[in-house]
Amino acid sequence: MWQKTKPYLLLLPAIGTIVLLFFGGLFDGLLKSLGYFPAIGETRFEVTAYTDLFRSSEFWESLVLTGRVAALSSVIAAVLGAVIAVSLFMLNESAKSGGAQLWHRLFQLPLTIPHLVGGYIVVLLFMQSGFLSKILASAGLIDEIRDFPVLVNDPFGWGIILTYAWKEAPFVSLMIYPVLSRIHRSWRDVARIFGAGSWNFIREIVLPVMVPAWTIATFIVFVFTFSAFEVPFLLGVTYPSMLPVFSYQLYTSGTLADRPEALAVNIILAALTILLGLVVYYFSKRWNVLKGWD
């Protein structure tokens, strides 16, 4: 009996904590989004918060913005991450020293920088009177501050996209690199015997090998950007705002009536991320991404 229950007892503290603090919070939020709130005497269930949301253009604009920003940041991060990983891999191929290891470490740096700091770096670089604008002006390419495009606190979300592309590119390269490092050195020699140059080698061998891990990494970045708060809060505009910021604005707007709506936004956001998460899980299992190939 003890042997049978032992693993469940070992799991109990961790599961209990997550169920209580995390799923309890989700459930609490779900109830309140449905208007069930005994503390203020509301014990009926109603879906007005959801129907109001679906009818408001603000919600749909916010959803579109969120999707667009997440898509663009993940694609840019994917391209940049792949360039870093492939360059490091080719460097490692041609050099025997541990130099590649150091390079790899250096490129991981943005991963350790907190999101708020990453966002502020983008502010300093890309605002209209920012560092790049100053460089362009000194080079004589622009004459006025207004000539520099609005890239921070802009309605399109460029500042958010730039921050996430910068922060998440090392993550993408971190996910691809282990797969690449399993490409045997002899494959390179064989490719060369058949007359393949570096470019052909990358296109015919390196790219196909990394595609599964690459896709999954990009998708993870997408899901993460979809639900992140700090950077859009700092770099976005008040309207339209990304979903997490939209929810926060509703939650802190002061009127108690907006709170069920804020929590409804959260529940929709959670449902969407669960859906996206299941897609990632399905494909990563199917392609056996984390284990590579045999």
Partner 1 sequence: MKKPRRLLNSILFLLLFIVIGLPFVPLVLSSVSFGWQWPNVLPESFSFRVWEYVLAGSSGTWSAVGVSLLIAFIVTAVNILLAVPAANALVRYSLRGKWLIEAIVFAPIIIPPFVAVMGIHLTFLRLGLTETIFGVVLAHISPTLPYMVRAIMISYNTLSVDWENQARMLGAGPISRFAHVVLPHLLPGIAAGASLSVLISLSQYLITFIIGSGQVVTLPILLFPFISGGDPAVASAYSLLYAGIAIMALVGMDIALKKYYQNKKIATGKG
Of 141, 190, 207, 274, the one binding partner 1 by CB under 8 A: 274
Give strand pairing partners of 123. Answer: none
Choose the stretch contacting partner 1; rule: CB under 8 A; options: 6-14, 45-53, 62-70, 208-216. 6-14
CB of 246 to partner 1, least distance (A): 12
C-alpha–C-alpha distance, residues 159 and 156, integer Å: 9
Query: Of 69-108, which residues contact partner 1 (CB under 8 A)?
Result: 80, 83-84, 87-88, 90-91, 94-95, 103, 106-107
Phi then psi for 242, rounded to 5 degrees? -70, 155
Nearer to partner 1, 131 or 239 (CB): 131
Contact between 237 and partner 1 by CB under 8 A: the answer reads no
Q: Give the residue among 152, 149, 166 at the shortest CA–CA distance from 72.
A: 166
Tokens of 111: 């991963």
Contact 226, 272 (CB under 8 A): yes
Which positions from 186 through 225 interact with partner 1, judged by CB under 8 A? 198, 223
Q: Of these, 35, 212, 244, 260, which contacts partner 1 (CB under 8 A)?
A: 244
The window from 56-64, 115-123, 177-185, 209-217 that contacts partner 1 (CB under 8 A) reads 115-123
Check binding of 138 to partner 1 (CB under 8 A). yes
Give the residue with the Cβ less far from partner 1, 24 or 46.
24
Most distant CA atoms of the chain, gap in Å: 80
Residues 248-267 that bind partner 1 (CB under 8 A): 248, 251, 262-263, 266-267
Tokens of 5: 């229950």
Establish if 24 lies at the interface with partner 1 (CB under 8 A): yes
**Identity of the residue, 38 or 57, whose beta carbon is nearer to partner 1 in the bound complex:** 38
Instruction: Give yes or no for residue 141 binding partner 1 (CB under 8 A).
Output: no
Residue selected from 121, 196, 205, 211 as contacting partner 1 according to rule CB under 8 A:
121
Q: At what angle do helices 131-138 and 115-126 cross, to 10 degrees?
A: 20
Contact 75, 169 (CB under 8 A): no
Q: Tally helices (H) and strands (E) across the chain.
A: 15, 0
Nearest to 159 by CA among 201, 200, 119: 119
